[in-house]
Every structure is written in C-alpha cells, then in structure tokens.
Structure 1
C-alpha cells in the first residue's frame, strides 16, 4: 500500500482516510496538521472522508486545541486544516448551496486511549 499516492490518483478515490491531530467538542471541528501527514487533498477530494481522532485529543475549545498542538512542538505547522461540516457558498445567484466543495460525507472514528 502506498502512503502518499500521486495527486492525480486522488481524484479517482472513493474514500479518503486521515488521522486528525485534534478535535474541538464545542463546534465539532476536526484539526488536521499538514506536517503530521500529507492529508490535505485526501481529506478534500474523495466524496467520503473518514477521520480518526484519539479521545485524548478532543478539546473543549479552539484555544485548548491550539495550546495542545503548540505543546507538542516548538512551532505550529505551516498549514492547519479545520473541518467543521460541509462547505457552504452563495456564489451562484446568491442562493445558499451546501456541500459544493470537499467531501459529501464525513465520518469520525474516535479511538479510546
């Protein structure tokens, strides 16, 4: 199994699986750091995204989550992805459309530490 497939292959995948480095309980947000794994495209291109998060990495607030990430190392990652529900846009004729960008389905698996 290839861990980092060529970008061109990602467009044909049905499912993307990533490890979230943190989650925020009050908003249901997942946090994925690009330096931990090369996940940005695999979490966005396939129509189904499965994210795995450890129960100890679930924080109450965004402040708690960012403090926890910073404690793990000296500098924050260059790119951090926050995932909170499907995308929303009103670009087309000012009509709200949900789920235009990114996966259509998101599943979260919580690993009990």
Structure 2
C-alpha cells in the first residue's frame, strides 16, 4: 500500500474516482476479503438484499465482494440475492440520525406521555 498515498477512506475514494489503478486493485482485494466473511453471513441469514456502503463502495470493491461471495456462499442463498450500494452516500449518517430522533419522539410510550399531558 506504499504506492497509494491515502490516509483515510475519503482519500481512497478520491483516488478511485481519478482511476488510480493500484487503489482500484487494493479496493478489489479488500472487497474479496469482505466477500469471504459475507459468504458466511449470507449462508446463515439468507437475506434478499445485501447493501454495501462507505467510502470504498464502488465498482472495484463490489467486484471483489461478489467474486468471493458467489464462490463461497451456498447457491441457494445467492440465487435471489441482490448486492447493492447505498444511495444515500454522504447523507447516510444524517438520515440515520433523523430516523432515530423520529423513532424516539413518536415511540408509543412517548406518544402516551404527550397525550396524558394534554389530558386526552
């Protein structure tokens, strides 16, 4: 990795966007390692969708994930599996935080408290 001048995931994302070949190779290799682990997860849980997100979630990384995932997971578990990337991008944390706030504010117990305070 000495030939890839990156200190963070966003640096790697920028190199990938520029088409840096060594960064793409390393991203694919990282995807293969993740795919090996996900093959076990998919075999155990048999999900319909597997969403990949983060700074590396581009074509080279996904290619590596899919290579190992489809090699190692049971075919019955991957026959109808969709491997997709998050469409939220940099907004994922903000959207997640907003959902947590909404879930807290409108949880049944909180709604009951507000109704009791109103005398309803």
Q: Give the TM-score normalised by the residue count of structure 1.
A: 0.28
Where relative contact order (Cα < 8 A, 6+ residues apart) is larger, the structure is 1
Normalized per residue, the structure richer in strand is 1
Q: Mark the structure with the bigger radius of gyration.
A: 2
TM-score (norm 2): 0.27
Report the structure, 1 or 2, having the larger helix content: 2
